Amino acid sequence: MTAVALPDAGARRFDERFLRKLETLELAIRRASGAQARGIRRSRRVGAGLELADHRDYVPGDDLRYLDWNLYGRLDRRALRLFEEDEDVAVDVLVDASRSMGTGAPSKLDLALQVGAALAYVALAHLDRVAVPPLADEPASLPPQRGKNRILSILRFLDQTRAEGAQPVSAAVRAFLGRRSSRRRGVAVLISDFYDPAGARAALDLLRGHRLSPIAIQLTAPDELAPAWRGDVRVRDVETGEAHDLTLSPAAVEAYVRRLSALRRELEAHCRERGFPCFTLVSDQPVESVVLRMFRTGGLLG
């Protein structure tokens, strides 16, 4: 594989080692899927492409050039030939930059950005058009990119992202859709902890309602799954800034863990009912292993 130029050495999340991981990961995915370096979605169209895929019945007004005359001669059936056509896809990688994403050890935002960069790189390698608009209160913008060498622009752009947003993810997705200039179909990968009191699942439905195929990636930090705090503590909600005095008994911690597990199950059930791919990650997992697992289980960008 041809190497690309490296990002600045001072990049905090994306260094030379990370870029080597991307190249190795993309090659592993290519070998596992047998995919060629062409568009990763295919559509059926009349009289386009090279590979005959199917037929549909002729209706008055159709172009007779695409009538299957052999089929008509054998079966007296008037049908048009449909061909498979490789088609590039608009891929939007949406990383939640709300304040809760900055919590955890390691930070949920760091893995979210690395996963987003890895998915962008794979999509670029498959000649899709990739945008990485952060879900932030005052988001910066980078035009959609195409071609594997554009990963450098994406890495530099993503590395500026900070977990400073105050909007719930559903509101941030609504704002993104309002800014989105293209109305073409595409894929929207939403990477978030989905901690949204207004209902994070609504964000996925909003994406689908705008001709986008959602993919949900939910991130949790290890210390959220198994909190070590006990006794009387004061905690502050990073989203709202509100402080609360709590007594964390073993029973209270157990109830919290049950509620967190229920939150994850509810998101998975919501996605399953609607046919959305859904993946749950922990922020201390290696980016290359989790992304490769996503592709191996299917339903991701292909």
pLDDT band at 197 (very low <50, low <70, confident <90, very high): low
On the question of pLDDT at 286 being above 80, the answer is yes
Q: Output the pLDDT for position 11.
A: 46
Contact 252, 230 (CB under 8 A): no
More confident residue, 297 or 281: 281
- Where are the domains positioned within the chain? 16-36+89-297, 42-87
Which residues on neighbouring strands pair with residue 1, listed in sequence order?
none
For residues 191-218, b (16+ Cβ closer than 10 Å) or e, as one string?
bbbbbbeeebbbbbebbeebebbbbbbb
Cα separation, 153 vs 273, whole angstroms: 37
Which residues on neighbouring strands pair with residue 243, listed in sequence order?
236
Q: Is the pTM of this model over 0.85?
A: no
pLDDT tens, position by position, 224-279? 888 877 777 777 666 666 777 777 788 888 888 898 899 889 999 999 998 889 99
Q: Output the pLDDT for position 237.
A: 67
pLDDT tens, position by position, 47-103? 544 455 566 777 776 777 778 888 778 888 888 776 544 456 789 999 999 999 998
Contact 302, 130 (CB under 8 A): no
pLDDT band at 138 (very low <50, low <70, confident <90, very high): confident
Q: Output the pLDDT for position 34.
A: 55
CATH topology of domain 16-36+89-297: Rossmann fold (3.40.50)
pLDDT band at 301 (very low <50, low <70, confident <90, very high): low
Q: Output the pLDDT for position 8.
A: 45
More confident residue, 79 or 207: 207
